[in-house]
Amino acid sequence: MNIMLLINALPGACAQGLIWGIMAIGVFITYRILDLADLTVDGTMCTGGAVCIMMMLSGYNVWVSLLVAFLAGTLAGLVTGVLHTLLGIPAILAGILTQLGLYSINLRIMDDKANQAINVDKYDLLVSLRYIKGVPIYKNTLFLTVLIIAVLIAVLYWFFGTELGCSIRATGSNPNMSRAQGINTDVSKIIGLMLSNGIVAFASGLYAQYQGFADINAGRGAIVIGLAAVIIGQVIFGRFHGNFAFKLVSVALGGVIYYLVLQVVLWLGLKANDLKLISAVIVAIFLAIPHLKEKYFSKPVKKGGASRA
């Protein structure tokens, strides 16, 4: 096994991990903040890329294309939110229904084609696999994705400190108490789902540019990768007591660690066809670590409670 092959592949794995880290931040909003299991992301992870690539092929600027991709994701989140809150469908089923409908919509967006490619030489892409090495720093994919994550975290840190943001956090923490305080929890859930899926679709637009194409199956299993990044970040960085911004940073780093682990596993000789199995194993391991740590490695609590002063 050539170690140089692994070293050469690491920058690309980091760039891919950072893009998926943005997606994982969207998953974090529903999974951790709202405490909802939202499977819409498997659909919006394709929608954002499809919208972004098709708009760029139609001559629109990359930033306009990414903005519209974000808005398309918020619409998908709105549909899931309405199905869940107004129609009383459980969140996980509402997400599945939206995801199912998005498959046909995504095909329509891509002119009934399963794949739409974009040429890096003809279009001014923001990120690309070819912008990893040998390009100016302002065009380097690693630099730009880190910059985008920093701006995104700063905006979310500000937003969740506002009255509306605190209402969303309170809704996920204790919906009954939130309603007692006059918070419209249905509206909070809908806004949270819209924001989450908008961020996922934005990440999808970046990922489609990075790959050079939008694919109808791009979002298949996306929720697994997103949850993996969230859980890896929690397991590795959870021991450090940080604020909300630190938690978002740990989620983004979780995406990077996930892809670095995948790259090492592939370098060790496993086939690319085994990626789904590898992903499931990695997620299962990191999910089990907190439970095993608490069960077998936590210090036993002494009987009788705390000693009197």
- Condensed to tens digits (0 to 9), the pLDDT of residues 214-249 reads 999 888 878 888 888 888 888 888 777 778 889 999
Confidence of residue 70 (pLDDT cuts 50, 70, 90): very high
DSSP structure string for 106-125: HHHHTTT-SEEE--TTTS--
Mean pLDDT of 255-278: 80
Backbone angles phi and psi of 117, in degrees to 5: -95, 155
Mean pLDDT of 134-155: 92
What sign results for the dihedral spanned by CA atoms 83, 109, 195, 227? positive
Residue 215, classed as helix, strand or coil, is strand
pLDDT at 307: 45
DSSP structure string for 271-288: -GGGHHHHHHHHHHHHHH
Mean pLDDT of 297-302: 63
Which of 7-21, 46-60, 284-298 has the weakest average pLDDT? 284-298
pLDDT at 86: 93
Task: Write out the two tokens for 115.
Answer: 């794949």
Residue with tokens 């299991």: 37
Mean pLDDT of 51-73: 95
pLDDT at 203: 95
Burial (0-12, 13-18, 19+ Cβ within 10 Å), 226: buried
pLDDT at 309: 40
Task: Write out the two tokens for 30.
Answer: 């529903």
pLDDT at 299: 65
Confidence of residue 107 (pLDDT cuts 50, 70, 90): very high
pLDDT at 106: 94
| Average of per-residue pLDDT values in the chain | 87
User: In this model, does residue 30 exceed pLDDT 80?
Assistant: yes
CB of 201 closer than 8 Å to CB of 23: no
User: In this model, does residue 301 exceed pLDDT 70?
Assistant: no
Which of 80-94, 196-210, 261-275 has the weakest average pLDDT? 261-275
Task: Write out the two tokens for 155.
Answer: 């905006």
Q: Which CATH number fits domain 3-292: 1.10.10, 1.10.3470, 3.10.450, 3.40.50?
A: 1.10.3470
Task: Write out the two tokens for 228.
Answer: 């993996």
Domain extent listing, the chain: 3-292
Higher pLDDT, 95 or 243: 95
pLDDT at 218: 85
pLDDT at 306: 46
User: In this model, does residue 258 exceed pLDDT 90?
Assistant: no
